[in-house]
Chain A
Amino acid sequence: DTEVTQTPKHLVMGMTNKKSLKCEQHMGHRAMYWYKQKAKKPPELMFVYSYEKLSINESVPSRFSPECPNSSLLNLHLHALQPEDSALYLCASSQDAGAPNSPLHFGNGTRLTVT
């Protein structure tokens, strides 16, 4: 079991749907991350939040909209996705995004299928 919890574990959505992925951590970490991982590929960084503020957006399409309501929660809102967006979406947290020796703690991900 991980200390970062992601829900749902699996999600199937149509291209016109709106859905949200949720991530929660209670380790007191102040940095949270979204990564996207395609099969047999490494995770690709999407967004970084530091102290509840968006610090990095890796040129992610606007159909992905992150939100950090508080220091424990991270959401990823999805709208008008394409089939190529199907992937494993991983949330991670670390003690502090500005502390480079702070490793990432990952959740088990949400397996997203866009039909």
Chain B
Amino acid sequence: DAGVIQSPRHEVTEMGQEVTLRCKPISGHNSLFWYRQTMMRGLELLIYFNNNVPIDDSGMPEDRFSAKMPNASFSTLKIQPSEPRDSAVYFCASRTTRRGEQFFGPGTRLTVL
């Protein structure tokens, strides 16, 4: 079975550019989570969806960040405009049950110059 798929795996961009990260959750999973990993703060939850509906976006750092889930098999995290402090690894995870374990994708390493 395919796990959570993220693309691209690496992204290097210049400050001010728009960045779009993509995620395909595991088929049948109805919850999707976006995380950011940094050395200082570890894994931070940015936003999560249940059944394609955003439930909690309190972790989204600024209005420059937005996330969508147009259907059960696809989600995007967009940063516009990007800044150097957005450089981090961004993970997507999905889950089938309300309290079950989350399955993580391989992550996207974002570098903003």
The judgment on whether A and B are partners is no
- B interface residue numbers (CB < 8 A to A): none
> Interface residues, chain A, CB within 8 Å of chain B?
none
